[in-house]
Amino acid sequence: MRLFSKSILPSASLVSEMQTQINISSFLVDATGRSSWLARSRGRKRISYDTMIGLVGVLRPQTSCTSIDPVLQLEAAEEGWWYSAPVPDGSLVVTYITDRDYLTRSGLRHTHFWLSKLECTSYTVARSRGFQIEGDVRVKSASTYRLERPAGDGWVAVGDAASTYDPLSAEGVSKALRSGMSASQTIHNYLRGNGEVLDEYVVGVAKEFEDYLAQRVRYYRREARWPASLFWSRRQINPLNLEGDNFLLKGRDT
Ligand SMILES: Cc1cc2nc3c(=O)[nH]c(=O)nc-3n(C[C@H](O)[C@H](O)[C@H](O)COP(=O)(O)OP(=O)(O)OC[C@H]3O[C@@H](n4cnc5c(N)ncnc54)[C@H](O)[C@@H]3O)c2cc1C
């Protein structure tokens, strides 16, 4: 295949030996979620603020009579928090949110670690009675980060590709939609010759991220039962107000 640029934007074209022509947009949107594929392939750094993970177990009802309240339930624990939610096929999805170092230090496999922590809960273990686990518990990153600069000449990052928030905020989807709308306006103005809009977009993402970090502190400070727990204390301080180099508190390039 050979790639050539038309002299006049808005598109370049890719022509295969079969003479199939694919138009390639002159402006790219990185909507690749947590992989930030386009931004990282352009060498953009991410600043991470924690190593939060979600260990996700799917429970199937043991009998057809097993029923469950159709509500999302949250429960705080010493080294994290749980959420459980019924899904339409009758399963119960039970997720333990914690920091990766707790899992690593335990030396346990994912499912054993998740089961050992589930036994220490009150409401979540009660809700899981009558269900049995299906398959292995999966581990998903739930860390907080932002791209140092989520835009460049001819591209922007949106949604999780640009920044990620703690699942406790329940903001991931609405933020992704907001950034998509903001990016569309940015692209429209950029293609009309206003290059400054990329800087404005970058500032907007950073500002929203700062507001989120401040809100995260407010949420996590409401739980005061475990003052010695690293999981809670790591989130009860705003990393932007810190000096020093503890990345779990202050953020680091990843
Ligand atoms: C445990 C957990 C619980 C959460 N709970 C909530 C919640 O309750 N409420 C909420 O609002 N948010 C929640 N979130 C966050 C929410 O899921 C995300 O913020 C949201 O899905 C981000 O949308 P997105 O479109 O940016 O990315 P994604 O939904 O991740 O979509 C990115 C897509 O890009 C694709 N992709 C990746 N790389 C490439 C590539 N190179 N080429 C082509 N395609 C590619 C992926 O396959 C994927 O389909 C939660 C997240 C986690 C981890």
Q: Is 167 in the pocket of ligand 1 (CB under 6 A)?
A: yes
Residue nearest to atom 52 of ligand 1 (CA): 142
Helix-strand-coil split of the chain, %, nearest 5 = 35, 25, 35
Q: What is the pLDDT of residues 165-197, one digit of tens each?
A: 999 999 999 999 999 999 999 999 999 999 899
The domain defined by 52-141 carries CATH number 3.40.640.10: no
Which is the closest atom of ligand 1 to the Cα of 172?
A: 19
| Confidence at residue 189, expressed as pLDDT on a 0 to 100 scale | 96
Q: What is the mean pLDDT of the chain?
A: 89
Mutate to test the pocket of ligand 1, among 32, 72, 163 (most ligand atoms within 8 A of CB): 32
pTM tops 0.95, yes or no: no
Q: Is 37 in the pocket of ligand 1 (CB under 6 A)?
A: yes
Q: Where are the domains of the chain?
A: 29-49+147-249, 52-141
**Please, are residues 162 and 146 in contact by the beta-carbon 8 Å criterion?**
yes
Q: What is the pLDDT of residues 200-233, one digit of tens each?
A: 999 999 999 999 999 999 999 999 999 999 999 9
Q: What is the pLDDT of residues 70-122, one digit of tens each?
A: 999 999 999 999 999 999 999 999 999 999 999 999 999 999 999 999 999 99
Q: Is 41 in the pocket of ligand 1 (CB under 6 A)?
A: no
| Confidence at residue 217, expressed as pLDDT on a 0 to 100 scale | 96
Higher confidence at residue 76 or residue 20?
76
Which is the closest atom of ligand 1 to the Cα of 38?
A: 41
∠ CA 147-150-155, nearest 5°, is 145
Which is the closest atom of ligand 1 to the Cα of 175?
A: 19
pLDDT category of residue 1 using cuts at 50, 70 and 90: very low
Among residues 118, 127, 120, 131, the alpha carbon closest in space to that of 59 is found at 131
**Lowest model confidence (mean pLDDT) among 58-62, 90-94, 164-168, 247-251:** 247-251
Residue 13 has pLDDT above 90, yes or no: no
Q: What is the pLDDT of residues 132-170, one digit of tens each?
A: 999 999 999 999 999 999 999 999 999 999 999 999 999
Q: Is 35 in the pocket of ligand 1 (CB under 6 A)?
A: yes
- The helix or strand, by DSSP H or E, that contains position 125, with its residue range, turns out to be helix 123-128
Count Cβ atoms below 10 Å from residue 75 Cβ, excluding itself.
Answer: 17
Assign 153 to helix, strand or coil: coil
Q: Is 140 in the pocket of ligand 1 (CB under 6 A)?
A: yes
pLDDT category of residue 241 using cuts at 50, 70 and 90: confident
Phi and psi at 97, nearest 5°, equal -100, 125
Residue nearest to atom 30 of ligand 1 (CA): 33
Q: Is 5 in the pocket of ligand 1 (CB under 6 A)?
A: no
Token pair 């990393």: residue: 239
Residue nearest to atom 13 of ligand 1 (CA): 172
Distance CA 29, CA 161 (A): 10
